[in-house]
Amino acid sequence: MTGSLLQVALSGIQAAQLGLNTTSHNIANVNTPNYNRQVTSQSSTPPVYFGAGFAGSGVRVDAITRSYSDLLTGQLRAAESQSTRSTVYAQTVDQLNSFVGDSNGSVTGAMSDFFGALQLVTTSPGDAAARQAVYASAQSVVQRFRGVDRNLTQLRDDINQRAENLVTDINSRTQEIADLGTRIVAATASGRPPNDLLDQRDAMLGELNRLARISVTAQADGSISVYLGNGQALLNGSIAQKLAMAENPLETAAPTLGVKSGSIVVSLAGNGEVGGELGGLLSARDEALTSVTVAVGRMARVFTDAINERNHLGIDPAGNAGGDIFAIDPPVAAAAASTSGSASIAVTIIDAHALKASDYRVDATASGYTVTRLSDSQQQAFASAPITIDGLRFDVTGAPTTGDRFGVRAVSDAVSTLRLAIGDATKIASASSLRIDSLSANKGTGVASVAIDSDDPALHDAAQLVFDGAGQVTITTAAGSTVLAYTAGTPIVMNGWSVYMRGTPAAGDTFQLDANTNTDGDNRNAVALAALETSEMVPGMSFNGMYAALVVDIGTKGREATAARDANEGLATSVGAAREAISGVNLDEEALNLMSYQQAYQAAGRMIGIANNLFDTILSISS
Amino acid sequence: MRISTAGTFSSAATYMMGRQSDLAKLSTQISSGQRILTPSDDPAGAARVIELENTKARGDQLRINQTSSINTLSQAESFLGNIGDAYADMQDILAQAGNATYSDSDRKILAAELAARRDALSGLSISRDADGQPLFGSRLVRVSNSRELDVSLNSNALFGRVRDGNGVFAASADSANAGATSISAGTVADAAALDGNSYDIVVHDNVGVLTYDIINTATTATVSSGNAFSNGGTISVAGMSVKITGSPADGDSYHLMASTTRSVFQTLDDMIQALKAPVSDDVSRAQLSANIAAGLAQLDQAAETAHLTRASAGAALKEIDTLQAVNAVQDEQLQIQIAGVRDLDYTKAVTDLSQRQLVLDAAQRAYSKTLGHSLFEYL
């Protein structure tokens, strides 16, 4: 009887000891991340039959289990990967905001200085110092553009490098999880959950999940399958897939995520769905960074084209026709690695003002070509080359095979080739290349002036304008005579020039239009150059408007990213708190547990004393 | 609900860091004085600031252009004034030369004086402005975003294309005339009747009775004949009126020709030659006074051209003056608008700052109270 009393007391001591042990394990792990509070579950041992009935035989500890919720862990993973993704995205967009919003380094500031310097040239076209200022500010326009481009390229390289590192990290973590999985499967076979191993795996999954969003399905044997956010299987029991960044020569040199199959990397669709840090980086690169890059690239192309075109229409102080002030390489088309035909594409800009802020993809189809504008994924089919779209012309040489694919970097890598085409300030064509004068025999009061509107093959052809005094003017050039109507106050427009009349020309009055040779004091083309600042460059926008639109775009993206980051952080925090409510350690609770197990232990110990006393009593009777 | 101890600490840390970052942002805003630190703070506002600052920079540039064109135009104006004075002086000299009491040598002195004035005028015609730019040349000035002012001065129009006669037609006595007469510069009596043709007036002495015929030189058709001539009487043809004074000889002729243009320097050279020519008889005296009259008329035309050009420079100056005033108001408005969009409302910012500080302070106290106690203190 006492024997069993001692047994009962011992079972109580053992249970209390395990309880104390578990409690102190909990206390020790109060600050361990991802730790799941452990609890002992105990039950009374089967009773022993006596004549009078069943007598209790003590207590036993059934299991030590984790306070763990599958549902909340899954929710927490989703929230955490979302939060990491938006944090990384917001960081990148923040950086872009500082490149774009920095008024000291902004392109628009340099452009404003450039046009300001041109204005100074208009006030004194012969002044070498004023011209030097134009040259210096043209240099700083190039430097600012290149500076922005350097920042953007560096950011892109950083992102690609980080993505590369993350992929390596993901691969090694997946392998670790697979290795741990085999130990868990072995331990689970014992019938009791290996709590701390499971915690360890959960912690590793949590960390993996921050790199890229994962979903986890558990099997009864303790093994798990892990899937990426875009559905790609990452781990299947103990078999881990290897990820890699795949080169993508088509679109702005942006490697995409792929799966290694032997030595080949198969690109995965849906890079934006990857989530986590990797997903955040890739979507920041493909959405925000690309939209800034193409917008700046388009600006550089339009700017270069507009300034050069106008400079061509004037003559410099030496009397030479104006040339290019800025130079920029033409767009390039790259063939995808899978391309099998012999075709290549040459790209020409036919109208810079019609350019869109986008690159293009050209797919050869059975019925011709499909051109995709990457900024809005809009597709257009063409039966044959040359293809003209958005101010660009694609000339195809050679025969493409159906399925061949080409990437056209129309604007995205434009800035890296932007440079000055002039070596000094004398090449700014400040004077107009045309002049008009009245003949001395003229009887009327008419005074003519000429403005150049656009480049025309016949622009510089000498012309004689003879007024008939009755609303008509005959224009005679080497190509023949043309009769136009003349209304006072309305310019006479031909061959790219406009002649404005003041006063009234009499019948027979003649004006001679010639190539200008006297540049002294002539500032007419400089005025036209300076006026480009406020002219419409692309539909509805001046240079400044283009830049402001870019600022609005990236600013809005930044604002959205910050809002999304805060919201996702809030969500992750609240889901985390819900998980903590179940799995977290509360020290006060553990203190109470400690006291309660201590008291149980003390009471059971007292039981042993009593059993001892009882035994002594029996012994004293017999002696 | 169970509260996890670690969770309590980390949420306290997260919350307080959040408030601290709010405070940090507010202090950056306060120390920079700007509400928009990056475009994401207010995308539309940031773009608006770019637009406004660009407009303001353009306004500043336009002000420089306006000042520069005011300088150029003022110089041109005073220069044109000088030219007008030079013409007046030359007309004085010519008028003196017409004085009947002057001898050949007196006129030679006047001729030398006129030659000196001519050289001075030719010096003026290649003037440069303060920036070293020629005053004569094709010049445009952008004085507002939508207005380009043509401030070109054309030396050809000013000096080279001066109309002769009275600007419409030139009346002259034939150089072979035997009578001592002079013909006035003439006036336009009827602008509508002007036909641009040249006419000759030929005087006939019919035994002491003077008559004149009018002949269209282009068609050689006689327009009218046998008109009675009276000394100083008005002769009219095709809207033109002239007066011939003196006593013409038989066969003397006078020409009314549609005005053409000549260089004022050419006229002056002719005048200098005319003054140098000796006057020996009534005929050559009449010739001289006819020449002087023609010269005076042409200088009148040249002065008129200079005067009109000066008036248009003045009008341009006035326009720029107005634009400058408008520009100044716009600049002020832009400054206010930029400040309104970009600058910080200090009152609000400082209030926000102290409010957030208060919240952070309260949170810190609350956390230190709740987190500072544990059951373990009683074990």
CB contact under 8 A, A547 and B50: yes
pLDDT, position A606: 94
Evaluate the omega torsion of the peptide bond into residue A386 and state whether it is cis, within 30 degrees of 0: yes
| Structural domain spans, chain B | 34-164+264-343, 176-259
Residue A82 has pLDDT above 70, yes or no: yes
pLDDT, position A84: 92
pLDDT, position A379: 92
pLDDT, position A250: 61
Which of A46-60, A69-83, B175-189 bottoms out in mean pLDDT, i.e. has the lowest? B175-189
Residue B92 has pLDDT above 60, yes or no: yes
CB contact under 8 A, A438 and B50: no
Answer with the residue of higher pLDDT: B121 or A443: B121
As a whole number, the mean pLDDT across chain B is 85
Answer with the residue of higher pLDDT: B121 or A249: B121
CB contact under 8 A, B140 and A524: yes
Residue A418 has pLDDT above 70, yes or no: yes
pLDDT, position B185: 78
pLDDT, position B150: 78
Nearest CA in chain A to B56: A112
pLDDT, position A253: 55
Closest CA to B375 of A524, A23, A475: A23
Residue B153 has pLDDT above 80, yes or no: no
Please state, in angstroms and rounded to a whole number, the distance separating the CA atoms of residues B226 and B210.
9
Contacts of B315 (CB under 8 A, 6+ apart): none
pLDDT, position A304: 94
How many percent of chain A have pLDDT more than 90? Answer: 37
Nearest CA in chain B to A577: B7
Please give, rounded to a whole number of angstroms, the shortest distance from the CA of A463 to a CA of chain B. Answer: 19
pLDDT, position A439: 80
Residue A254 has pLDDT above 80, yes or no: no
Residues of A in contact with B5 (CB under 8 A): 30, 584-588
Residue A76 has pLDDT above 80, yes or no: yes
Closest CA to B303 of B159, B185, B111: B159
pLDDT, position A623: 63
pLDDT, position B71: 83
Q: What is the ipTM of this complex?
A: 0.70
Residue A251 has pLDDT above 60, yes or no: no
- Residue A447's φ and ψ, nearest 5 degrees, are -125, 130
How many percent of chain A have pLDDT more than 70? Answer: 98
Residues of B in contact with A518 (CB under 8 A): 137
Please give, rounded to a whole number of angstroms, the shortest distance from the CA of A526 to a CA of chain B. Answer: 9
Q: Taking a C-beta distance cutoff of 8 angstroms, is the pair A128, A279 a contact?
A: no
Please give, rounded to a whole number of angstroms, the shortest distance from the CA of A391 to a CA of chain B. Answer: 27
A54 falls in which pLDDT band (50, 70, 90)?
confident
Please give, rounded to a whole number of angstroms, the shortest distance from the CA of A267 to a CA of chain B. Answer: 34
Residue B270 has pLDDT above 60, yes or no: yes
DSSP assignments along A515-582, one per residue: E----TT--HHHHHHHHGGGS--BTTB-HHHHHHHHHHHHHHHHHHHHHHHHHHHHHHHHHHHHHHHH
Class for the domain spanning B34-164+264-343: mainly alpha
pLDDT, position B176: 79
Distances (CA, A) of A334 to A38, A331, A347: 60, 10, 11
Answer with the residue of higher pLDDT: A208 or B280: A208
CB contact under 8 A, A442 and B261: yes
pLDDT, position B266: 87
B43, B58, B379 member nearest A555 (Cβ): B43
Residue B67 has pLDDT above 80, yes or no: yes
B1, B46, B134 member nearest A520 (Cβ): B134
Please give, rounded to a whole number of angstroms, the shortest distance from the CA of B20 to a CA of chain A. Answer: 15
Residues of A in contact with B65 (CB under 8 A): 119, 122-123
Distances (CA, A) of A109 to A141, A234, A259: 9, 49, 45
A104 falls in which pLDDT band (50, 70, 90)?
low
B184 falls in which pLDDT band (50, 70, 90)?
confident
Residue B126 has pLDDT above 90, yes or no: no
Half-sphere exposure of B292 (CA within 13 A, CB side): 25
Answer with the residue of higher pLDDT: A474 or A262: A474
A79 falls in which pLDDT band (50, 70, 90)?
very high
B47, B134, B142 member nearest A122 (Cβ): B142
What mean pLDDT comes out for the span B220-230? 84
Contacts of A404 (CB under 8 A, 6+ apart): A335, A336, A338, A339, A340, A341, A343, A363, A364
Radius of gyration of chain B, Cα coordinates, nearest whole angstrom: 42
- Residue B256's φ and ψ, nearest 5 degrees, are -110, 110
| Structural domain spans, chain A | 2-67+585-622, 73-288+541-575, 332-410, 434-515
Q: Residue B320: is it exposed, middle or buried by C-beta count within 10 angstroms (0-12/13-18/19+)?
A: buried
CB contact under 8 A, A124 and B131: yes
Residues of A in contact with B46 (CB under 8 A): 101, 551-552, 555
As a whole number, the mean pLDDT across chain A is 88
What mean pLDDT comes out for the span B189-214? 84
Residues of A in contact with B133 (CB under 8 A): 124-127, 521
A381 falls in which pLDDT band (50, 70, 90)?
very high
Which of A95-104, A307-316, A341-350, A476-485 bottoms out in mean pLDDT, i.e. has the lowest? A95-104
B355 falls in which pLDDT band (50, 70, 90)?
very high
Q: Taking a C-beta distance cutoff of 8 angstroms, is the pair A530, B143 a contact?
A: no
- Residue A514's φ and ψ, nearest 5 degrees, are -135, 165
A138 falls in which pLDDT band (50, 70, 90)?
very high
Q: Chain A to chain B, count of Cβ pairs less than 8 Å apart?
A: 195
How many percent of chain B have pLDDT more than 90? Answer: 8
Residues of B in contact with A123 (CB under 8 A): 64-65, 68-69, 72, 131, 141
Which of A168-172, A196-200, A500-504, A548-552 bottoms out in mean pLDDT, i.e. has the lowest? A500-504
CB contact under 8 A, A521 and B61: no
